[in-house]
Structures are given as C-alpha cells and as structure tokens.
Structure 1
C-alpha cells in the first residue's frame, strides 16, 4: 500500500478507471493528491494583454473544475488534497510529485488530445520516461 499517490487529471473522462486503481493502492491513512496543470500563454502579437489574461484565467478555472470533479467522484472517507498549478503538464507533474514526496503517480494512458490516443498520451509518455517516481499507467477501456 502507498502512503501518498499523485493523480494528475485533465478532465478527459477516465476518472472512474483511475479512481478504481488509486482506491485499491492507497493505505488506509494515506493521502491522494489530485493535480491539474493549467497552461499559460505569455505573449502574442495578435492578442491584447487583457485578452491573454482572460484566457489564462479561463485555463486555471478549467483546471480547478477538473480537480473538483475528480475529487467528487471518490467515495467518502479518503484523505484528498487538490492542487492546481500553471506550467507544462509533464514537467509540473514530476515537480509536484517530488515536492510532495509521493510514492506513486497514477496517470491515464491517453488524454484529451485525439492525435495522441492511438498509442499513449503525450503527457503520460513524458511522465513515464522522465519521472524518478514509480508511475502506474492506466489503460483506458472505451
């Protein structure tokens, strides 16, 4: 059993399968950290600063909604912490995992990007290749 598990989410709809794995692996007194990473636009020659700010706020709000939705799907009684960060998803997942001292990252094999669904999600692949922490790659059944 694991004391601390990181569960990244992009809201792609595979929560039930990921939750099933996490609830089987977490210790009774363990902590589950649900993470969503919001992207960030820094500048654009074609958009005003105020528009960029609104877009960035929208991405953060979407990430907050993702963690809220994931947490709501867990059965009662689990110790769950939600985290929203801004950055590049794979790198941020690894940074949070190290900072929080997690023992396992549980991540879905494919996410929102339809282009990447044919093999493995690009974020999951990067996390799998670069993490120094164990990664459980959840195969999605559609």
Structure 2
C-alpha cells in the first residue's frame, strides 16, 4: 500500500479507471493528491494582453473543474487533496511529486492528445521517462 499517491488529470474520460486503481493502492491513512496543470499563454504583439488573460482564466477554470470532477469520484472517507497549478504538465507533475514526497504517480496512457490507443500520451511518456518515483501507467481502452 502507498502512503501518498499523485493523480494528475487533464479532465479526460479515463478517470474511472484511474480512481479504481488508486483506491486499491492507497493505504488506509494515505493521501491522494489530485493535480491538474493549466497551460499558460503569454501575450505578444499578435496576442492582446486582455485576450490572453481571458484564455488563461478559462484554462485555469477547466483545470479546477477537472480536479473537482476527479475528487468527486472518490469515497468521502479518503484523504484527498486538490491542486491546480499553471505550467508545463510533465515538468509540473515531476516537481509536485518530488516536493510532496509521493510514493507513486498514477497517470493515464492517453488523454486529450488524441494519439492512437497504442501510443503513450506525450505527458505520460515524459513523466514515465523523467520521474525518479514509481509510475503506474493506466492503459485505457
């Protein structure tokens, strides 16, 4: 059993499979950290600051919704922490896993990327290759 599991989500439809696995692996007194990483656009000569700010707000709200939706799938008796951060997903997942001292990262093999089911999603692949922490890659049908 794991004491602390990081569960990154992008809001894709595979949450049920991830939740099922996490519930089987978490210790009775363990903590589940649900993380969604919102991308962040920067303004330029071609992108007015006001429009970029609106898009960033939308991205942050979508990330919060993804975390809330995932958290709602867990039993209330479990210790669930919700996090929404801004940045590059794979790098942020690695950083949070190290800072929080997690024992396991549970991540889907594919999500919003639209990559064929036999190919690991780019974020999952980067996490798998760069993490010093155990990673459970959940294959989705």
**Residue number in structure 1 paired with 2:36:** 36
TM-score in terms of structure 1 length: 0.96
In the alignment, does 2:113 pair up with 1:113? yes
1:117 offset after TM fit, Å?
4.2
TM-score normalised by L of structure 2: 0.97
The aligned residue for residue 27 of structure 1 is 27
Task: Check whether the contact 1:111–1:117 (CA below 8 A) recurs between aligned residues.
Answer: no
- What is aligned with 1:78? 78
Superposed CA offset, 1:4-54 (max 9, x none): 000000001111100010000000000000000000001233221011001
Post-superposition, which runs of at least 4 consecutive aligned residues in structure 1 deviate over 3 A? 115-118
The alignment yields a C-alpha RMSD, in angstroms, of 1.0
Aligned residues: 141
| Cα distance in 2 between the residues matched to 1:16 and 1:116 | 20
Return 5+ residue gaps in structure 1 as ranges.
none
